[in-house]
């Protein structure tokens, strides 16, 4: 798992990249939680998501947003971090140019950034949004949501009340042509303490289902 450094809008960004074994494997970008509350690319959930994608043959990149770790710049309340995520995807596409598609996965603040990236980049075919902070940030930009994906959160989340996530899911489910899978992890708080393994298992099951559907669609063409 090589350490990588690439250029972002505010300077150098530090990341970890797992190359794919096949030339046309999809890309996955993993986005960490809030930089001002200790979020880094080595957050346990971000770390486990990274390897979940790698085990399924993806070319995977996780990185530190500006001002975190060895990444240059300073926290920019989401605007700059979205630009960082776009630069990360650009970099991954440069080193893996024959990718069959792209996914984005984020936890909390990273889920908010990931959903915004989804709106900007039509090549993103799927997403995993863990504990999206629907009560703290505006998600009205998802109009309409361009890709199907998984929204997953805990029923004991005190940071992001489940009712706020449910409101977001209900809004997205009314849109035609996309399918939002909504999973609630019983007993899990915002950080999925003692539930991370189960969380990653559920995310992996969803990803496997989507991979199988894509394979079926390709075989039918």
| pLDDT score of 1 | 62
pTM: predicted TM-score of the whole model, two decimal places: 0.97
Domain 3-220, CATH homologous superfamily name and number: Alpha/Beta hydrolase fold, catalytic domain (3.40.50.1820)
Distance of CA 218 to the CA centre of its chain: 24
Closest to 2 (Cα-Cα) out of 39, 73, 54, 52: 54
Position 77 scores a pLDDT of 97
pLDDT of residue 121: 96
* Cis peptide bond upstream of 144, omega within 30: yes
Per-residue burial over 168-187, b = 16 or more CB atoms within 10 Å of its CB, e = otherwise: bbebbeeeeeeebbeeebee
Q: Which two tokens stand for residue 146?
A: 């361009």
Cα–Cα distance for residue pair 66/99, rounded to 1 Å: 26
Interatomic CA distance for residues 163 and 169, integer angstroms: 10
Contact 113, 133 (CB under 8 A): no
> 38: phi > 0 → left, psi -120 to 50 → alpha, else beta; which?
left
Q: Specify the pLDDT at position 183.
A: 98
Query: How far, in Å, CA of 88 to CA of 47, rounded?
Result: 16
pLDDT in tens, the chain (221 residues): 689 999 999 999 999 999 999 999 999 999 999 999 999 999 999 999 999 999 999 999 999 999 999 999 999 999 999 999 999 999 999 999 999 999 999 999 999 999 999 999 999 999 999 999 999 999 999 988 999 999 999 999 999 999 999 999 998 988 778 899 999 999 999 999 999 999 999 999 999 999 999 888 878 87
CA distance 83 to 81: 5
pLDDT at 217: 81
CA pair distance 40, 62, nearest whole angstrom: 9
- Specify the pLDDT at position 102: 97
Listed by start position, the domains of the chain span 3-220
């Amino acid at each position: 798992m090589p350490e990588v450094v690439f250029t972002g809008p505010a300077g150098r960004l530090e990341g970890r990249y797992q190359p794919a074994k096949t030339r046309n494997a999809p890309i996955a970008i993993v986005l960490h939680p809030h930089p001002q509350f200790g979020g880094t690319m080595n957050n346990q959930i971000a770390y486990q998501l990274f390897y979940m994608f790698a085990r399924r043959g993806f070319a995977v990149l996780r990185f530190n947003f500006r001002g975190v770790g060895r990444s240059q710049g300073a926290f920019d309340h989401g605007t700059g971090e979205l630009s960082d995520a776009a630069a990360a995807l650009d970099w991954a596409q440069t080193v893996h140019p024959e990718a069959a598609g792209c996914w984005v996965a984020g936890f909390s603040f990273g889920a908010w950034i990931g959903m915004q990236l989804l709106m900007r980049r039509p090549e993103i075919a799927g997403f995993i949004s863990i504990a999206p902070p629907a009560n703290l940030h505006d998600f009205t930009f998802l109009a309409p949501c361009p890709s199907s994906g998984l929204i997953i959160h805990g029923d004991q989340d005190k940071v992001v009340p489940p009712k706020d996530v449910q409101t977001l899911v209900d809004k997205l489910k009314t849109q035609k042509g996309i399918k939002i899978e909504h999973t609630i992890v019983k007993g899990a708080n915002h950080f999925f303490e003692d539930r991370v393994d189960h969380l990653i298992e559920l995310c992996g099951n969803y990803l496997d289902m989507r991979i199988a559907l894509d394979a079926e669609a390709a075989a039918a063409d």
